Structure 1
Amino acid sequence: MNVTRGLPHKAVDPGRRATGSRRLAAFTFLFFTGMWLSKTVQPLYFERHGHLVAFGLSYTAMAVAGTASVFTGRLADRWGSRPVFLAGTLLYAAGMALRVVHALPVVAVVSGFVAGLGASGIFIAIRTWIVHHVAEEQRAGVVARREFMNHAGMALGTGAAGALVALAGGDDRGYVFVLLLAAGCVLAAALAVPPDRTAARPGSGTAPGDKAGPGLLQTLRGNRALACGVVGTGLLMGFYVSLLTPYLPLLLKERGVPLELVGVVLAAAGLSRLTAAALAGPVLRRRPPLRVFLLSESACAVATLVLALAVNPWTAAVVLVLRGVFLLGATVSQELLQLSAFPGAVAGAFFGLVQSAFLAGDALGGAVGGWLYQALGSDRTVLVATALTAANAVLVPMFYGRLGARTSETGKEPAHVPG
């Protein structure tokens, strides 16, 4: 199947803001502020009432809904990104509002599933909007600004949640107030949803809202090599991330970082990612994302290795903060590779496939992670995560590099993977 990427290549000033990118940045900030307000308060609220089982069911239902992202992505291909933006925002806000009900497991499951559908739709809509509305030269700046707003919203949401609960009374009223405020932030983000083009989407052959186009299975079969590579790398990344990220507080504590400073170190790591996001745009405009990913992910592997072997608590703390910078570089550069590699007319399906594969790997890593830490100990488990990170640092550039070379030879899009 011969399909094309989002925007045809033409000379564009990379320093010029893409139309609609300010609205995308505002949407991202409001969305992630609401998300992290709710994610911070919900477990505390459920634990307060002894209903952590219901919280776990809600979390699981959200993950299960997220694995259906590939179907949501195909809807974005057929309907355009704006309808998926709006539907996802409404669903996520509704699921968040239901979190005020803590005593009924059925409501918790419905809340998680609805919120999961909404969140997966939003993540896909953001990326498909960039494919169809942002020229390749401008994507590094747009993605970096979006990541900055992501981390800024995360910092505001996590930092303000406890204070807002206390200001609202500190009892159930405070928790309910913050949960509803979080849903309101997400709902307000709908006002900042960037517009779709009214003309035919470049490369798709159909106007937004036109239901014509191949089915999901036909789309994946027509791009079999791309689909297999996306699934493989997504599973790998999801697996090793879930082996490490949930256990970072434990690792710092085991390496001698005082318990009262563990949160400070994690906050510093978040601040390092925020700073890196502010600087990433100009750096990525000057350097090929394939090379940036290789260097960033390799540095992540080295930092993870040092974390496994560190005997000095402050070495572990500094390495974790630096790892945040490398992780941001790897995340942004990999998304730029995907934006260039995924055919524009079916980009939503492939971003959905990435998300589904990552969540499946994340679930697998979550299922075996605790067992590995108990059976092997933290040092050996982190060494396993190091090896998987190093493998990812090699396999992702190899996959996208070969994909770019092969599609250039056949004359099919994507014809260029920046390297």
Structure 2
Amino acid sequence: MSQTPAARPAAATSLPLIIFCGCAIACLTFGPRATAGLLLTPISETNGWGRDVFALSFAIQNLLWGVGQPFAGGFADRYGARPVLIVGGLLYAAGLALMPLSSAPGAMHLSAGVLIGFALSGASFSIVIGAFGKLLPAEWRTLGFGFGTAAGSFGQFLFTPLASTLVGAYGWQTTVLIFAGLMLLVLPLSIPLATRPVADASVTVRDQTIGEALREAFATPSYWLLVIGFFTCGFHLAFITAHLPPFLIDQGISPQVGGWALALIGLFNIAGSLSSGVLSGRMPKRHILAAIYFARAILIAGFIALPVTPTTALIFGAGIGLLWLSTIPPTSGLVATMFGTRYMTMLYGVVFLSHQIGSFMGVWLGGELYEAYGNYDLIWKIAIALSIMSALVNLPIRERAVERPATA
């Protein structure tokens, strides 16, 4: 059996550049997809559709993002993050550019759903976090995960008011074309992430194949608990992103308030993600995840129990923002803790697939149940129940490295 080489970490002077470019990519690629709730109404009105049509496109996007993530992660683990990011950035630009031409539901499902979904699997914070896991030394790792996640949140904060302004001034078609041009910036920003990956030198073990890494993960009960719990995170994120603005419009609140609520989610998640990244290096990660899910259940229950006003909508946006992507640093940290960083991008991608199945269900069920009952009451209650389930599922996770045969 061969021995894994102890490659040198990235030079200290290059660490800020790696983090900056990775965060810029996370910001750019997460931003446009966070505006789906603002685009749902104008796209539906332009094409004479119900809310379920574009909601299905967004649901397909989320599902295929998850389906493609393990494959994109495996490719990045083997060949480096940069080629994956380049292909993802080009697909993203193409999907956005084709949306104004998609006047039939099938065409919108292809552009906004299939193309952007697969694009996100190759050019999103998941690939960035995997690259950080390899390129950053251990003492920077969980903080880097927090920065990468917070950057995605900043993209949401930046793009939602930008989209609201552009849609009001120029229409949704011009807005998505501008976003398509911005996605091409991913190509030059990916250059520093091409730095040669470093081996995880904390333990010397025999080399693993991709198949062996997957079999090891699937034989680990704690990994399955992590996969199951992450479903709820995706369900919440996609449902709220796509359906909160229309929900507020139904309550007689202006679309601008919905845009600012989404922006506050992104702004406050910067603090939530960074705090989660710091705490993940100091506290049991499973406890952090359980606390986040319990807090979501309480917050959602309070929001729908009180009268919905612009004030409560903005407070809800700020509160859910603190809990939004703060699940990612402890989740990715648990994957690295249990299995190391050699195949971290792929193994995190499998966990993320569960997240995106939840995203598909959240967006799709939101549209279907709205069309069936004329309101969002039932889907909010489902969101609360799933929060409690995930909080309980994360508590038994065993937070330690798997045992492997060591080389002599």
Normalising to structure 1: TM-score of the pair?
0.74
Which residue of structure 1 aligns with residue 121 of structure 2? 120
Which residue of structure 1 aligns with residue 302 of structure 2? 306
Q: Which amino acid aligns with 2:98?
A: L
2:178 maps to which of 178, 181, 184: 181
**CA–CA separation in structure 1 for the residues paired with 2:262 and 2:34:** 15
| Alpha-carbon distance change, 98 to 144 in structure 1, aligned in 2, over 3 angstroms | same
Q: Which amino acid aligns with 1:335?
A: S
| Alpha-carbon distance change, 96 to 228 in structure 1, aligned in 2, over 3 angstroms | same
Q: Secondary structure at the match of 2:400?
A: helix
Which residue of structure 2 aligns with residue 393 of structure 1? 391
- CA drift of 1:201 comes to 4.3
Q: Which amino acid aligns with 2:48?
A: G
Q: Which amino acid aligns with 1:117?
A: F
- CA drift of 1:54 comes to 6.9
Q: Secondary structure at the match of 1:404?
A: coil
- CA drift of 1:377 comes to 8.1
| Alpha-carbon distance change, 30 to 79 in structure 1, aligned in 2, over 3 angstroms | same
Counterparts of 1:357-396 in structure 2, within 5 Å, are 357-369=354-366, 382-396=380-394
Q: Which amino acid aligns with 1:114?
A: L
- Mind listing any 5+ residue stretches in structure 2 that lack a counterpart? none
Which residue of structure 1 aligns with residue 139 of structure 2? 137
**CA–CA separation in structure 2 for the residues paired with 1:298 and 1:274:** 20
Which residue of structure 1 aligns with residue 89 of structure 2? 89
| Alpha-carbon distance change, 118 to 180 in structure 1, aligned in 2, over 3 angstroms | same
- CA drift of 1:214 comes to 3.2
Q: Are the aligned partners of 2:55 and 2:363 in contact in 1 as well (CA < 8 Å)?
A: no
- CA drift of 1:265 comes to 4.5
Once the two structures are superposed, what CA deviation does each residue of 1:14-50 show, in whole Å capped at 9, x if it has no partner? xx95551111122223333455578855863563243
Which residue of structure 1 aligns with residue 224 of structure 2? 228
Structure 1 stretch displaced more, 136-145 or 42-51: 42-51
- CA drift of 1:386 comes to 2.5
| Alpha-carbon distance change, 291 to 3 in structure 1, aligned in 2, over 3 angstroms | farther
Q: Which amino acid aligns with 2:116?
A: A
- CA drift of 1:138 comes to 1.3
Which residue of structure 2 aligns with residue 50 of structure 1? 48
Q: Are the aligned partners of 1:34 and 1:181 in contact in 2 as well (CA < 8 Å)?
A: no
**CA–CA separation in structure 2 for the residues paired with 1:244 and 1:178:** 21
2:209 maps to which of 214, 229, 242: 214
**CA–CA separation in structure 1 for the residues paired with 2:132 and 2:164:** 34
Q: Are the aligned partners of 1:54 and 1:104 in contact in 2 as well (CA < 8 Å)?
A: no
| Alpha-carbon distance change, 189 to 360 in structure 1, aligned in 2, over 3 angstroms | same
| Alpha-carbon distance change, 306 to 2 in structure 1, aligned in 2, over 3 angstroms | farther
| Alpha-carbon distance change, 343 to 278 in structure 1, aligned in 2, over 3 angstroms | closer
Which residue of structure 2 aligns with residue 209 of structure 1? none
**CA–CA separation in structure 2 for the residues paired with 1:220 and 1:2:** 20
Which residue of structure 2 aligns with residue 208 of structure 1? none
Structure 1 stretch displaced more, 63-72 or 244-253: 244-253
Q: Which amino acid aligns with 1:74?
A: G
Q: Are the aligned partners of 2:265 and 2:321 in contact in 1 as well (CA < 8 Å)?
A: yes
1:153 maps to which of 152, 155, 160: 155
Which residue of structure 1 aligns with residue 61 of structure 2? 62
Once the two structures are superposed, what CA deviation does each residue of 1:160-211 show, in whole Å capped at 9, x if it has no partner? 22433565xx3xxx544432221111111211113333366447x9xxxxxx
Structure 1 stretch displaced more, 315-324 or 141-150: 315-324
- CA drift of 1:318 comes to 3.5
Seq. identity, %: 23
- CA drift of 1:260 comes to 6.9
**CA–CA separation in structure 2 for the residues paired with 1:30 and 1:316:** 26
Q: Which amino acid aligns with 1:47?
A: E
**CA–CA separation in structure 2 for the residues paired with 1:176 and 1:241:** 25
- Mind listing any 5+ residue stretches in structure 1 that lack a counterpart? 206-211, 414-419
Which residue of structure 2 aligns with residue 293 of structure 1? 289
Q: Are the aligned partners of 2:238 and 2:362 in contact in 1 as well (CA < 8 Å)?
A: yes
**CA–CA separation in structure 1 for the residues paired with 2:33 and 2:255:** 25
Q: Are the aligned partners of 2:7 and 2:198 in contact in 1 as well (CA < 8 Å)?
A: no
**CA–CA separation in structure 2 for the residues paired with 1:29 and 1:46:** 27
Q: Are the aligned partners of 1:7 and 1:131 in contact in 2 as well (CA < 8 Å)?
A: no
**CA–CA separation in structure 2 for the residues paired with 1:214 and 1:295:** 35
Normalising to structure 2: TM-score of the pair?
0.76
Q: Are the aligned partners of 2:59 and 2:364 in contact in 1 as well (CA < 8 Å)?
A: no
**CA–CA separation in structure 1 for the residues paired with 2:285 and 2:252:** 35
Counterparts of 1:200-211 in structure 2, within 5 Å, are 201-202=199-200
Q: Are the aligned partners of 1:127 and 1:351 in contact in 2 as well (CA < 8 Å)?
A: no
Q: Are the aligned partners of 1:77 and 1:345 in contact in 2 as well (CA < 8 Å)?
A: yes
